[in-house]
A and B are shown apart, each in its own frame.
Chain A
Amino acid sequence: MGTGSRRSDRIAGGLLLLLSVGYGLEAGRLQADFLADPLGPRAFPLLLAVSLGVFSLYLIVRPDPDPAWPPAHVLGGQLGMLLSFVVYSYALAPLGFLLATTLEMAWLSRLFGASWRTGLLGGLGLAAALYAIFVFGLGIPLPLGRWWPA
């Protein structure tokens, strides 16, 4: 303790300070047409902005030692995962639940060390099981996809 770098908390503190200033400025612009109570819509957010400002300054002055950030190959895996989440979010409606989830599961399984074959089989199994449970068991509709003959 003490000898390591403390950059992480300083960066976090700086970003939080920016957030508190931006949030505070936006709060300061709020105006109500009529005042139903003495405080109005501004006071509570301003209180929050000031608190966050004080706490983040404290964090910059007294930061903790840096945590162990993951090595490059783990970071790569996490990025691959996040990208797939974004693609999945957009692909769910057009591709349909079964296809999108099978592909997503296969990709994630692969990131966790499974082969494409086992990942695809596991993904298909899970997607089919979840579809059955949600649609037939619970009556919660899931998209079939635009390519599905309606």
Chain B
Amino acid sequence: MDVFAQLAHGFEVALAPLNLFLAFAGAFLGTLIGALPGIGPVNGVAILIPIAYALKLPPESALILLAGVYYGAEYGGRISSILLNVPGDAGAVITTLDGYPMAQKGKAGEALALSALSSFIGGTLAVIGLTLFAPYLAEWAIRFGPAEYFALMVFAFTTLASLAGKNPVKALIASVFGLMLATVGIDPGSGVPRFTFGELKLYDGVDFLVVAIGLFAISEVLTLMEHTFLGTATRVKVETALVSMKTFLGSLWTILRSSLIGFFIGVLPGAGASIASAVAYTTEKRLVDRDGTFGTGDPRGVAAPEAANNAASGGAMVPMLTLGVPGSGTTAVLLGALMMFNVTPGPLIFEQRPEIVWGLIASMYIGNVMLLVLNLPLVGWFARILTVPRWFLVPAIASLSFIGVYAVNNSAFDLLFMTGIGVVGYLMRKAGFPLAPVILGLVLGRLMEINLRRALAISGGDYTILYASPLSKVLWALALLSLLFPVIAARFGARRVPEGE
């Protein structure tokens, strides 16, 4: 199938007035959500799902909106990193290292402009990568049998476990907890209700939306209660965001290299924007930091993480769309959202629902251009958003979470359940359990079990089918390797990268 014909078809979908508007709304809200410290892409996407659902948007339109929030947040995250030294989200932590020193030297406008351009180049290159890469991966993945799928999902959990958070065992516990949540409800294989305790509400399973919003947004609000002292910006003045051609060209190779790094790290299951930006920064420091200017306001130190985190969010779409196996917390939430719309991503989606995949990909080209416009001339406006006082912002996030969940089911029980999950999420955060594996487990649990059972049904109960094919052998080996990776890395004194989103 011709990629360009498909892409052209995707542009027809993306250029429909509703979808064009939603791409803009996603980009705008994403920048806003990214800019505000405290709400990152996961929370933003989770809070918007019920609205998209209640509006009865077609699935491709909902995905265009939600994905726009996801990659838009990677643009917005840099604003408070540069101006306040407070990262707007996990992917923008590294941007503070050189961004804030640049702002202190009076070069805030330059840092904002350069980082916007880096974000644009990283984001756009990642969409190009997605366009070229995804159809082939999907074509190849069509041959995956249930055994290969099961091994692939195990691999997704082990990479996430070794990369997200400090203690891999805690990440594994979080994964199993998510998988357990997924087993609640009617067993798809035999029709037996499991772990429902006779509660009819639980026969359909645990509501994904309630868990996602509770786990991320409510726990975030509880966490923010601890950091009320962080305060807000008193004076944020950015009139012009301009960067000289000389500075831009001086960073161009850094941007291109970091985009590539970011894209490939994004494609890896389990590794997202925060890891990509850290790896890109350390790589560039090693390659081009001859005078030791990194960390003191070097423009390349701003360009590298911003190109990488935007490229990573594009790259993370590749396994989510082609394999149906998300690589990060946010893509897991996106996948769960798609499932709410009765769409199951995976290799078949490219043939069965091309309007969803190609409409999304085309909208990402458009969205990145919109984001560049939003983030260059209008950056001063977004900077002013940072002055919204905390006493208003945090309660507003809580209210939005509650209304969203209520709008979908009109149920007080769901709101209580969400609060309970929020407490669990808060305790997990405090004790160093990462949250992304829980969502990944909840989203993948059913598929994982179905594939395991299908594989053994084919073999008549013979367990060797799970590692019979060469491909599944490779996947199991990779899974084992990724579990041993932290041990090996510690042995060689490699420093840990910051916590995943």
Contact = CB atoms under 8 A, between A and B. Distances in A.
Interface of A: 8-9, 12, 16, 19, 23, 26-27, 30-41, 43-45, 48, 51-52, 55-56, 58-59, 62, 64, 67, 69-70, 74, 77-78, 81-82, 85-86, 88-90, 92-93, 97, 101, 104-105, 108-114, 118-119, 122-123, 126-127, 130, 134, 138-142
Contacts of B410: 93
B403 interface: yes
B180 interface: yes
- B interface, size bucket: 35 or more
Given A32-B189, A34-B190, A44-B449, 18 more contacts: A30-B194, A39-B461, A43-B452, A48-B180, A51-B172, A59-B173, A64-B166, A67-B431, A70-B225, A86-B416, A88-B415, A93-B412, A105-B399, A108-B394, A111-B225, A114-B392, A138-B54, A140-B51
Contact of A85 (B389, B419, B430): B419
B199 interface: no
A39 B453 contact: yes
B391 A97 contact: no
A9 B431 contact: yes
B432 A139 contact: no
A100 to B, nearest CB: 9
B55 interface: yes
Given A23-B195, A82-B419, A119 B391 contact: yes
B456 interface: yes
A114 B390 CA distance: 9
Interface string B216-246: 0010011001101000000000000000000
B431 to A, nearest CB: 6
A41 B189 contact: yes
Contact of A113 (B55, B228, B396, B398): B228
Interface string B446-476: 0011001110110011000000000000000
B167 interface: yes
B402 to A, nearest CB: 7
A32 B192 contact: yes
B392 A41 contact: no
Contacts of B228: 112-113
B189 A36 contact: yes
Contact of A78 (B189, B225, B432): B225
A52 B454 CA distance: 24
B225 A23 contact: no
Contact of A39 (B51, B170, B412, B456): B456
13 contacts: A30-B192, A39-B189, A41-B192, A44-B183, A45-B195, A64-B167, A69-B430, A109-B392, A112-B394, A113-B228, A113-B390, A123-B395, A139-B55
Contacts of A127: 399
Nearest to B191: A32
Contacts of A78: 222, 225-226, 426
Contacts of B423: 82
Contacts of B389: 114
B407 interface: yes
A85 B399 CA distance: 10
A123 B396 CA distance: 8
A124 to B, nearest CB: 12
B51 A74 contact: no
Contacts of B454: 37
A44 B456 CA distance: 12
Contacts of A110: 391
